Amino acid sequence: MLAEGKIIKSISGFYYVLSEDVVYQCRARGVFRKRKITPLVGDLVKFEADNGTDGYIIELLPRKNELVRPPIANVEQALVVFSVKEPDLSLQLLDKFLVHIEANEIEAIICFTKMDLLTATERERLFDVASLYRSLSYPIFFLSIVEQENYAPLKAYLKDKITVVAGQSGVGKSSLLNGLDTSLQIATNEISTHLGRGKHTTRHVELLPIAGGLVADTPGFSSLDLSHFNEEDLSLYFPEMKQRREKCKFRGCTHLAEPHCAVKDALKSGEIAESRYNHYVQFFNEVKETKRRY
């Protein structure tokens, strides 16, 4: 039987393919190894199933995109999960996540977790920060394990989508998934007080059926490599800069020292946030330094 399906889990050389509500345990044909092609969770595939539940992947269908870490394909949107305490919120790291997501043409949804740990004054400061990102068209959700009603509006974003959950360790990604679907009971760990970060409780990439969509629970990580970016493309991944770069006087403007720069003009007038521009400069220099070393 030749059929089409979607890889929802990959463990130890076995690929679990969902097709018409049935999951098939498949191996990949040797031709993939010879061509140095690795099937990924999220891939649409053609497969043969000879005995009902076991089979072989015959062909990978074209990918919309693919991520390296986590290794997953055809992602449509990302829940970018950042805690507001334990660990403290890092806007620089948030912007680095958003740059990677924009570069892969994935929609981003920002989720601030552990809201119950904030004082009233701290909440007000966070709402000011959130308004900046909301002005860039990023949906914002404020979540905590003691305010379960806040999860309901988020579920509407998941329907019929492949969603990846991204964020550093210990920010509550597994708790968020448990909040979205209480039947999951994904293992969670508290923050390590010695290391100041969460333990890696998620060991593999798997697409979980949640709220009418498929959501990837992925290993947490705390840094993102910019080495594969080009300096001249970096501003494309800042929406507020992308929409203004065509108005710069010079083609290929880096928005650093060039005259008649629309981005710097917007910065001066307050239309672009200083924090976002400063992070752009940091990332630009990071990319430049990486290229210089190699």
pLDDT tens readout for residues 215-255: 986 654 445 778 889 999 999 999 999 999 999 999 999 99
- Class at the top of the CATH hierarchy for domain 231-293: mainly alpha
| Cα 194 to Cα 260: distance, rounded to the nearest angstrom | 49
89: tokens are 């919120």
pLDDT tens readout for residues 102-141: 998 999 999 999 999 999 999 999 999 999 999 999 999 9
Whole-model pTM? 0.86
Evaluate whether 263 touches 276 at the Cβ level (below 8 Å): no
Average pLDDT (202-217) is 83
pLDDT tens readout for residues 58-98: 999 999 998 877 788 999 999 999 999 999 999 999 999 99
Evaluate whether 79 touches 164 at the Cβ level (below 8 Å): yes
| Cα 45 to Cα 10: distance, rounded to the nearest angstrom | 13
| Cα 56 to Cα 29: distance, rounded to the nearest angstrom | 6
Which fold, 67-217? Rossmann fold (3.40.50)
| Cα 61 to Cα 52: distance, rounded to the nearest angstrom | 22
- Beta strand 44-49 pairing with 72-73: unpaired
Element (H, E) at 59: strand 54-60
| Cα 66 to Cα 237: distance, rounded to the nearest angstrom | 17
DSSP 197: E
Among residues 66, 10, 57, 3, which one has the least CA distance to residue 30?
Answer: 57
State whether residue 133 is helix, strand or coil. Answer: helix
| Cα 217 to Cα 214: distance, rounded to the nearest angstrom | 10
- Class at the top of the CATH hierarchy for domain 2-61: mainly beta
Average pLDDT (180-186) is 81
Please say if the pLDDT value at position 145 is more than 60.
yes
Evaluate whether 168 touches 114 at the Cβ level (below 8 Å): no
Phi, psi values for residue 104, rounded to 5° = -95, 10
User: What are the sequence ranges of the domains in the chain?
Assistant: 2-61, 67-217, 231-293
Name the percent of the chain in helix, strand, coil, to the closest 5: 30, 25, 40
